[in-house]
Amino acid sequence: MVYTTQMDAAKKGIITKQMRIVAQEENIDPDVLRQSVADGKVVIPANRNHINLAPKGVGERLRTKINVNLGVSKDCYNIDLELEKAKKAIELKAEAIMDLSCYGKTEKFRRKLIDMSPAMIGTVPMYDAVGMLDKALKDITVDEFFKVVEKHAEDGVDFMTIHCGMNQATAERIKKNKRLTNIVSRGGSLLFAWMELNNQENPFYEYYDRLLDICEKYDVTLSLGDACRPGSINDSTDPAQIEELITLGELTKRAWARNVQVMIEGPGHIALNEIAANMLLEKKLCHGAPFYVLGPLVTDIAPGYDHITSAIGGAIAAANGADFLCYVTPAEHLRLPNLDDIKEGIIATRIAAHAADIAKGIPGARDWDNQMSAARADVDFSRMIELAIDPEKARKYREESTPECEDTCTMCGKMCPMKNIKKLLNGEDLNIA
C-alpha cells in the first residue's frame, strides 16, 4: 500500500520500517506505537532524503529525547568546528541536532551534517533566508520564504521549526501587553520584523497549506515554533504566549488532516511553580501533540551555569509531560558554545531526561540506576565508572585522588559504609582503626 508520510502510513494500518525500529528500541508493541503516530501523540521525524537516519520516536510512553543546537554565525564562521560539535553530540547519544546557522551560504554545512548524522536533523529556515537569498529582510517575498523551506526539505531535514502561530492578532497582543524581554525567539523576531516592515500577515500562517504541501512531500515533521516564548520568568504564561499556543493547537489539527506530523515548541523561561501548568496547557490546547521545550530555565540569574537552571526545569517539565528537551549550555546568553560547553549541556540535559523517565515510569528506566547501585554496594569502582553517564569524567575524578585502600575512596576511606555494613552482614570482622 502506498503512503506519503509516517502519519499517513499509521492511519492506513501500515507499520513502517521506522516504526518497527522505534518500537524495538523503546520496548513497545509496534501496533501501539503505530496508533500513537496515527493519533499525533508520537512523531517519528524521518525525511525520505535523510538516507542514514537512525529513526527515533518522540512522544507519549517513549523515552524523553534531547536535542543539541549548533551552527555557524557571522562572528564564529567555522564549519569544521561545528562538524566536530556534531560528532561530539552523536558520540554523547543526543537523538537530534538542530542546525541554527544564520550567516552566509549555509547549504554546504547543512548537507555535510545530514550526510554524516544518524541523529535526526532540524533547522529553522527563517535563519537561513537572509543569507541564502542575499537580500534585506524587508525585501524577501513570500515565494522566496517558501523556496528556502523547500530547499531545506529537499536536502533531507527531518524537522523544521516554523513560527506559524504568531499572526497579526498575536503581534498586537505583544504590543498591548508590555513584556520585560519582548520577543526573544530569533526566528519569531525576524518574522515580527518582516510583518511590521511590510504591513503583511505572517506568510507561514496565511499560506499554511503551502507549507503543509512541502512537509507532506518530503515527510518533514513540522515543529510549530513558539515565537512568543518567554525570555524571562517575568514574562511566562502571559497573554501573548497563551494566544499563540491556542493558534498552534488549531494549526496542529490542520496539519494532521494532511497527514503531517507535528511537535509543539514550548517556553524557555518559567518559574518552578508554573512548569506543570504549562505542560498541561500545551497537552490540552494542542491535543496531546509531542511537546518540545527549551530548558525551561527556572531562574534568570545564572549566566555561565544555565545548563543547570535548564536541567532543573527540564526534569520537571518532562516529568509533567514534555517529550523532547532542547539542551542549554553554560554559554547560553553569553556566546556560541565551544566543544566543552556542548558536552556540559548534553550531559546535564541527558540527566534531566533520564530523571524524568524514572518519574514517568518508562519501562526499563530504573534498570540503569539499579545496576549503578549494585556496583556501589559491591564497592566496584570499575563497574561504577563503566556505568556512569560520563565515564571519562568519573574516571578522571577517581584517578585524581588515590585512597589508602583500593576498594574505598578518599571521602570515607576505611569508614566506607558500603564496605563495612556488607562485611558485618556477612559475619566478617571489622577493623576501621
Cα 397 from chain centroid (whole Å):
29
Q: What is the pLDDT of residue 407?
A: 80
- What is the pLDDT at residue 10? 98
Q: Is the pLDDT of residue 433 over 70?
A: no
Categorize the per-residue pLDDT at 429 as very low, low, confident or very high, splitting at 50, 70 and 90.
Answer: confident
Considering the chain, what is the average pLDDT of its residues?
95
Higher model confidence: residue 22 or residue 407? 22
Element (H, E) at 125: helix 125-133
Tell whether the torsion through CA atoms of 298, 320, 316 and 61 is positive or negative.
negative
Q: Which of 58-72, 102-116, 141-155, 319-333 has the lowest mean pLDDT?
A: 102-116
pLDDT of residue 24: 97
Rounded CA-CA distance 268/227 in Å is 11
Average pLDDT over residues 342-358: 98
- How confident is the model at residue 242, as a pLDDT? 95
**Which residue has better confidence, 257 or 106?**
257
Pairing label, strands 120-123, 96-99: parallel
Average pLDDT over residues 416-427: 86
Q: pLDDT tens for residues 236-279? A: 999 999 999 999 999 999 999 999 999 999 999 999 999 999 99
User: What is the mean predicted confidence (pLDDT) over 310-335?
Assistant: 97
Contact 324, 58 (CB under 8 A): yes
220 secondary structure, DSSP code = P
d(C-alpha 371, C-alpha 391), whole Å:
15
Dist CA 264 CA 281 (whole Å): 12
Q: What letter would DSSP give residue 303? A: T
pLDDT tens profile 12-48:
999 999 999 999 999 999 999 999 999 999 999 999 9
Give the percent of the chain with pLDDT over 90: 84
DSSP string across 275-288: HHHHHHHHHHHTTT
Residue type, 80: D
At 103 the pLDDT is: 80
- Whether the pLDDT of residue 145 is over 80: the answer is yes
Whole-Å CA distances, 174 to 228, 243, 290, 373: 8, 10, 26, 50
pLDDT of residue 403: 85
* pTM (predicted TM-score): 0.95
Closest CA to 191 of 172, 229, 163: 163
Write the CB contacts of 47 (distance below 8 Å, at least 6 apart in sequence).
Answer: 53, 121, 153, 156, 157, 158, 218, 219, 220
Q: What integer pLDDT is reported at residue 83 of this predicted model?
A: 94
C-alpha cell at 408: 574505598
Q: How far apart are the C-alpha atoms of 20 and 251, rounded to whole Å?
A: 29
| Domains in the chain with CATH codes | 45-360 (3.20.20.540), 366-425 (no CATH)
Q: Say what the pLDDT of residue 369 is.
A: 98
